[in-house]
Amino acid sequence: MLTFEDFRPGHLGSFGPRYVSREEIIAFAAEFDPQPMHMDDQGGGQSLLGGLSASGWQMCGIMMRMMVDGFVGRAASLGSPGVEELRWLAPLRPGDTVTLEVDVVSARLSKSRPGVGIIVLKTALQNAAAVRLCEMTSTVMIGSRNQVSAE
Amino acid sequence: MRFFEDLQVGQRRELGSFTFTAESIRRFAREFDPQPMHLDEEAGRRSLLGGLAASGWHIGSICVRLLVLDGQRQAQAWGPSPGFRDLRWIRPVLAGDTISYATEVQSLRPSASRAGWGLAQLRYTGVNQRGELVYSVLTTTFVPMRPTTA
């Protein structure tokens, strides 16, 4: 299991690829973000995005899933207090195949919670043409080796 | 709240509420955030979150749903968003919790890049049934200006 000690500043890894279908873009939009630009080609074509594109919040979900499959799922994950900044840079289109680049910005132990590591990550989602679609700086909490072995 | 010109700093609007059932928490988590504390009651109890807890991205996505439905009631489509800052998951949202969302206008400026559009900074918040703040995020959104009549 990955613990706090495994997260050192620098490149953590590249994750994916992950194919994104038209059906899942429309299904997510219908449930969470039913704006015309996320629902069909006509609505997308009339929008500033210039074509059917995934909800930005679906990008967030896809990034999270890629992180869970890539490393969070085998780490002593304790959750996340939040996201410092997230920028949507380019639309995610039906049929895109995306990859995720993750860097560790900083890693420290919590002063108030013994055994809890506070890791700041910089995450970038990009399509097959290496266009950056989304960039995020977020914080995750990961247990330290001592905390994990004490359980 | 319709066009950019109708917005004022400090304006607040209630967006409605949503009850996070155990089933809805698990369904979202299976697709986007399959960590034990979002899938399993016992694993949630043993975690820092203290019970089966909604993924933070589920909490944010429901806020977007209520925002979009509110926008449709106002018959005014807003443009896309360049992003957000200072998103905080302040307290866990556990199975059975009902979260009420609201928005408040933080700042307004005309877009430098897109004529006919303004940029609004909005703070979205979520409060549980005990009145505790659980979620907060500061977003930026393109809002259309009122069309000028010839």
CB B143 within 8 A of CB B149: no
Can you say how many angstroms the Cα of residue A141 is from the centroid of all Cα atoms in its chain? Answer: 15
Would you say residue B1 has pLDDT above 70? no
Q: Average pLDDT in the B95-103 region?
A: 98
Q: What is the DSSP string of A61-110?
A: HHHHHHHHHHTGGGBTB----EEEEEEE-SPPPTT-EEEEEEEEEEEEE-
Q: Average pLDDT in the B76-100 region?
A: 91
C-alpha B75/C-alpha B136 separation (Å) is 26
Residue B5: CB atoms within 10 Å: 12
B105 contacts chain A (CB < 8 A)? no
pLDDT at A32: 97
Q: Considering only CB atoms, which chain B residues are within 8 Å of A114?
A: none
- The nearest CA of chain A is from the CA of B75 a distance in Å of 12
The reply to whether residue B68 touches residue A34, judged by beta carbons under 8 angstroms, is yes
CB B49 within 8 A of CB B97: no
pLDDT at B75: 53
The reply to whether residue A78 touches residue B48, judged by beta carbons under 8 angstroms, is yes
The reply to whether residue A48 touches residue B77, judged by beta carbons under 8 angstroms, is no
Q: Phi and psi of B4, rounded to 5°?
A: -55, -40
Q: Average pLDDT in the B2-24 region?
A: 94
A4-150 is a CATH 3.10.129.10 domain: yes
C-alpha B115/C-alpha B70 separation (Å) is 25
Q: Phi and psi of B144, rounded to 5°?
A: -70, 140
Q: Phi and psi of B44, rounded to 5°?
A: -65, -45
Longest dimension (CA), chain A: 57
| Average pLDDT per 10 consecutive residues for chain A, totaling 151 residues | 96 97 97 92 83 96 98 95 97 97 97 94 98 98 86 64
Residue with tokens 């905390």, as numbered in its chain: A147
pLDDT at B77: 64
Domains of chain B in start order, with CATH, are 4-144 (3.10.129.10)
ipTM score: 0.94
The per-residue pLDDT of chain B, averaged, comes to 92
Would you say residue B76 has pLDDT above 80? no
* Most B-contacting residue of A38, A68, A125 (CB-CB within 10 A), to test interface: A68
The reply to whether residue A48 touches residue B61, judged by beta carbons under 8 angstroms, is no
User: Confidence class of residue B48 from pLDDT cuts 50, 70 and 90?
Assistant: confident
pLDDT at A19: 98
Percent with pLDDT over 90 in chain B: 77
Q: Considering only CB atoms, which chain B residues are within 8 Å of A34?
A: 65, 68-69, 72
Percent with pLDDT over 70 in chain B: 95
Of A48, A56, A85, the CB nearest to B79: A48
